[in-house]
Structure 1
Amino acid sequence: ILEKNAAQGEEDRRVVEESIEVLTEAGAFKIGQPRRYGGYELPMRAQIEVSAAVAEADGGTSWVVALCNQCAWMAGLFPERAQDDVWKRTPGARVSGVLTPSAETVKAEGGYRVTGRWYYNSGSWHADWAVLGMPLVDENGEALDHGLALIPRSELDFEESWFVAGMRSSGSNCLIARDVFVPEYRVISAPRAWQGEVGTEHTEES
């Protein structure tokens, strides 16, 4: 089915919905998702192997599977309350992401107000949430750190910007935030996360 739909996906500049449904039924988007929400919580090696298998049928579709699994893993670094927002009521929710801090942020009571654009957001047509890079600032607007914000897709605008020669079906378009409020519990420090200082209370998870 994935191979059959590959040409249509290239033409549409997004993965064909039938392919998304088949991959969802097969659990292909659950590789990086925490077990607490019905995911498989498998290591990076498994993510690579699944993506490689999908790539035999279509490279663009494989890229979407890889990025959504990696971003689900990143969502698992956030505090449990943030993870609940993503998966507690919708365990099949998919997450995309761009880590570049291409936004302006304003410190607000209980969180941040975020305005920005994130290009090359692979899987943008099919994601319910996004992990997006942003500067962490103080009350005076001084940048303190590189942060990651977990934002529902419903609060973001969308711009079709993916007009390329290959891997068109990855749908790597632009997500746009216009003065979106992000609560503190849905923001983490990227450098600290990479060093293992994660926000999640479930540090035993892979």
Structure 2
Amino acid sequence: MTKKQIARLAVEALKAEYPDSICSLQYTDPLQCLVATRLSAQCTDARVNMVTPALFERYTCAKDFADSSPEELAEYIKSCGLYKTKSKDIIAMARVLCEQYDGEVPDSLQALIALPGIGRKTANLVMGDIFGMEGAVVVDTHCIRITRRLGLHQETDQKKIELILRGLLPPEESNDFCHRLVLHGRAVCTARKAMCENCCMSEFCRKKA
């Protein structure tokens, strides 16, 4: 069985197991998606969702963030961890949005990656969830772990994994596939243990073979 065949079987198995493929971060517009995803680095989505209601009530647009100070912003996001770095990145990002994009989030992967503090994972999430780009691949820890176990690659570099998966997955399915990997990684194929007996992909997963 080829890697592309395994990838397509995985897409269908996860689609049947997790019909609702939604991002667990809560947001209502592109800027909120960008900020929430930046906050989720080394922090759980559940924790971010506890922080963002008050944060987004105080900061309603890019200019609000741009005009803030790292100290003030940090008070809202302390519980997310790495708050000093995150507050500086978010303010710097907002200033670029105001200066170069009239306060709007750009709909280009390369433009997003060029923003302060924004990496490929966040950029792909915004492109897939907000702008509906086919072929967006969000490479987080769940994606890395499960796709390695499936035998789709043996890489550790996020960009290399992204490009490999982009070549294996149907473009129209890749964004939802990554969301479903998060759900599966939390429930079944965890970092501590792969519960293969409960896995919808056990018949073709290379880890079990």
Task: Give the TM-score, by structure 2 length.
Answer: 0.31
